[in-house]
Amino acid sequence: ADLWYLGTISIAAFSTFLYTAAVRPPRSALPIADAFGLAIFTVVGAKVAIDGGVPTVIVVLMGAITGTVGGILRDVLCDETPLILRREIYATAALGGGAVYVVLQGTSLPLPVATVAAVTSVFLTRLAALRWNLHLPSFRIGESPN
């Protein structure tokens, strides 16, 4: 219903196309942009869910789903294994940011402060995972614990 999102996405896509046609961006630019997109869309998804009046756990899940699906689509279109299906701290960062947003919404903080804090938490969590090569533990079915 809100065409502002479509306009913003269109301008960003066109600007990115023009920029990358003229300048070769640094290799580190995509993971940083992806972390920022994850953060923004996580909080947007959580806000929409809150506005819909759904239970708290659904707000957090919808924030994480909204934040991660764009990256999944990107990876599938690039014929890569999606980050969410690897050991990456990706969906975990989104879940944490959604939880931060819900908790801060319940306080007397102004909405912009809660929003910036939640976006920052997702963004910094993802960047920390990239910087220090942090991963979630994994296991394979059928393997012995040794």
Residue-level length of the chain? 146
Residue 66 has pLDDT above 70, yes or no: yes
- The pLDDT value recorded for residue 86 is 85
Given a contact cutoff of 8 angstroms between Cβ atoms, the answer to whether 46 and 60 are in contact is: yes
- The pLDDT value recorded for residue 83 is 86
SS (H, E, C) 54-116: CCHHHHHHHHHHHHHHHHHHHHHHCCCCCHHHCCECCHHHHHHHHHHHHHHHCCCCCHHHHHH
C-alpha distances (whole Å) from 45 to each of 1, 42, 52, 97, 115 are: 15, 5, 11, 11, 12
What are 68's two structure tokens? 């991660």
User: Which pLDDT band holds residue 144 (cuts at 50, 70, 90)?
Assistant: low
- The pLDDT value recorded for residue 85 is 86
| Whole-angstrom Cα Rg for the chain | 17
Closest by CA position to 89, among listed 131, 145, 37: 131
Tens-digit pLDDT profile for residues 76-129:
998 999 988 888 999 999 999 999 999 999 999 999 999 999 999 999 999 999
- The pLDDT value recorded for residue 146 is 61
Tens-digit pLDDT profile for residues 4-63:
989 988 999 999 889 889 998 888 888 999 999 999 999 999 999 999 999 999 999 999
Which three-class secondary structure state does DSSP give residue 52?
A: coil
